[in-house]
Amino acid sequence: MAKNSTSSTTAPDSVWLACGRHLGPEPEQDARRNLIALKAAGVLDDFLDLEPAEAARSTVLHPRDESADPGPAARRLFEARWRVSDDVTVRAQLTTYDPEARRKKGDGVTWVLAAEAERAWEPHWPSPATMFWPDSDRLAWDYDPLQDVRLRSANHLPKDDDDLRHRLRDCTRQSWYVHVVVHEAMTPDARGQRPVSVFLPPSLRHRVVEHRATPEQAQIADFAMKRELGVRMPRGGAVVLPARPRDPEYDADRYTVRNVFLDGSEPTELLDRIKEFAALPRPLPADAERALTRLRHGWHLLTPEEELVHAQGLVAKYAEALDAMTNARDLYREAAEEAQAALARATGGDGAPRASVLGPGASDGSPLNALTKVFGRFRTPKK
């Protein structure tokens, strides 16, 4: 995949976007099995499984739009359609990609997921990620593509100071996710080790990466965040990290929580700050913008109603083309008849040219001039 950069486009409120790495041996098979099971259970209306080349050739809605091509590194394209809130249709595309050449063999398969609803997205709707990937911790499909961190885990910050700073710097630069750092005032028990994301609404669970600082990392983590990001981390608290480029309206105090009790109880204040931050307008990473463009301009999985509208559109286009061909045929036939009549006048009907036509005194209205004008209508216009 191409290197990420940030675009000036803001993500629409009807869109859900994510990317990650699948570390398992059969990512496409995992997605295919999940789609088949959910369709059989009636969760999905339908799904489609396409080779990238086939997808590029068979784009239905915008057959001439090059943005429908998933790219040379694409391995597979999946589409799914389902309904939320009874009558709101969601369309989603999952594309899997070969690892970049610089990555080691076995470093996983990159995936990009774009989903769009017919109206503004609501957090309580099902996560599009679980429509394609099994919602099981046993399958490692949810790794961040830039860092060795998972979406559904509490990821401890590196012990090394330099690595810690690099982690904080990289995870907020051009990221698709909301990043949260939680400080453990003391080593939590099994209940406190559960990630905060388990308390989030379904559609937010796979948009948040949680980082944990151990009790002894309080000072170094606070110093690194102040230096790299301009925010502070309170002991035993948490902070929602700003994205880069930083939104001028981001208020560090607003997104800092002084106390988070890691005892298995619901951290209400932190959850409210995460939801609030996730609802802010954010510029799309370039790869995310391309994924959204492909979803809108390269869609294949049509409903029967859409297929009918599409067929009617094709019929109208074919009718216009046939009408144009018919008009062109009539014009050529008319010109040919005029040419034959002019030729007959010029030759007297016996094929031999008349002297009056060839003489120096031939007038503009002579049969020869008429014939010349007729043939002139067949000349290719100059460009």
- For residue 4, pLDDT over 60 is answered with no
Res 29 pLDDT > 80:
yes
**Tokens read off for 211:** 């980082």
pLDDT at 289 over 70: yes
**Alpha-carbon separation of residue 169 from 12, 68, 253, 311, 367 (angstroms):** 26, 33, 20, 51, 85
Evaluate if residue 374 carries a pLDDT over 60: no
Sequence-separated (6 or more) residues with CB below 8 Å from residue 367? 342, 343, 345, 346, 354, 357
How remote is the C-alpha of 79 from its chain's centroid?
12
Give the whole-number percent of the chain exceeding pLDDT 90: 54
- pLDDT confidence of residue 39: 97
Per-residue pLDDT reduced to its tens digit, 57-102? 666 555 545 666 777 889 999 999 999 998 999 999 999 998 764 4
Q: 272: which 2 tokens? A: 């409210």
- For 15-73, give the DSSP string: EEEEEEEE-SS-HHHHHHHHHHHHHHTTS-SEEEEE-HHHHHHT-SS-TT-GGG---TT
Tens digit of pLDDT for each residue in 292-316?
A: 999 999 999 987 666 666 566 666 7
> What pLDDT score was predicted for residue 102?
45
Angstrom CA distances, 107 to 5, 137, 145, stand at 22, 18, 10
Cα–Cα distance between 204 and 184 in angstroms, integer?
A: 23
pLDDT tens digits for range 164-222: 998 988 888 767 899 999 999 999 999 999 999 999 999 999 999 999 999 999 999 99
* pLDDT the model gives residue 7: 55
pLDDT tens column, 206-245: 999 999 999 999 999 999 999 889 999 999 999 999 987 7
Mean pLDDT of the chain: 84
User: Range with the lowest mean pLDDT among 112-126, 201-215, 246-260, 298-312?
Assistant: 298-312
- Mean predicted confidence (pLDDT) in 359-366: 52
CA dist 88 and 77 (Å) reads 23
**Any long-range contacts for 270-273 (C-beta under 8 Å, 24+ apart)?**
270/180, 270/182, 270/196, 270/238, 271/196, 271/199, 271/200, 273/240
Of 247-256, 278-287, 360-369, the least confident: 360-369
Span 269-297, average pLDDT: 91
Which residues does 30 contact at the CB level (< 8 Å), separation at least 6?
Answer: 22, 24, 133, 134, 139, 141
Q: Mean pLDDT throughout 101-109?
A: 64
